[in-house]
C-alpha cells in the first residue's frame, strides 16, 4: 500500500510517502490511521486530531470507515478551504 502525506502532515511524519504492508486486522482508513499513529512520534503527531485530517483512497475522497486493501493508494491531507 502506498501512503501519501501532504502539507503539515508531511512535515510531522517527516516524509511525503511510504510503502506499507497492511497489517492483519486493519480493514479501514480509521484503523490504518491508528496503526500508523503507533509507528512513530511523527505519525502520532500527524494523527493526534483525526478531525483535522482528510483522506482519499485511490484518489477518491472518503471517510474513516472506508475499507482499504493491499495495493491501494491512501492520501492524508489537511482540510482545504477556498476563497
The enclosing domain of 68 has a CATH number of: 3.10.20.30
Task: List the domain range (segments joined by +) for residue 17.
Answer: 2-77
How big is the CA angle at 67 (ends 63 and 73), to the nearest 5 degrees? Answer: 85
Reference 48, options 8, 3, 17, 19; nearest CA is 8
Summarised one tens digit per residue, pLDDT across range 8-65 is: 999 999 999 999 999 999 999 999 999 999 999 999 999 999 999 999 999 999 999 9
Domain count for the chain = 1
- By the 10 Å C-beta count (0-12 exposed, 13-18 middle, 19+ buried), 54 is classed as middle
Looking at residue 39, what DSSP letter applies? Answer: T
Inside any domain, residue 30: yes
pLDDT for residue 68 is more than 90: yes
Inside any domain, residue 83: no
Q: How much is the pTM?
A: 0.93
The whole-number pLDDT of residue 82 equals 59
Inside any domain, residue 9: yes
Amino acid at each position: 500500500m502506498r501512503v501519501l502525506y501532504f502539507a503539515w502532515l508531511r512535515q510531522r511524519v517527516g516524509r511525503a510517502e511510504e510503502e506499507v504492508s497492511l497489517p492483519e486486522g486493519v480493514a479501514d482508513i480509521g484503523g490504518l490511521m491508528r496503526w500508523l499513529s503507533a509507528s512513530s512520534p511523527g505519525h502520532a503527531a500527524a494523527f493526534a486530531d483525526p478531525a483535522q485530517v482528510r483522506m482519499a483512497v485511490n484518489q477518491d475522497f472518503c471517510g474513516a470507515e472506508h475499507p482499504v486493501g493491499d495495493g491501494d493508494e491512501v492520501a492524508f491531507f489537511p482540510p482545504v478551504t477556498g476563497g
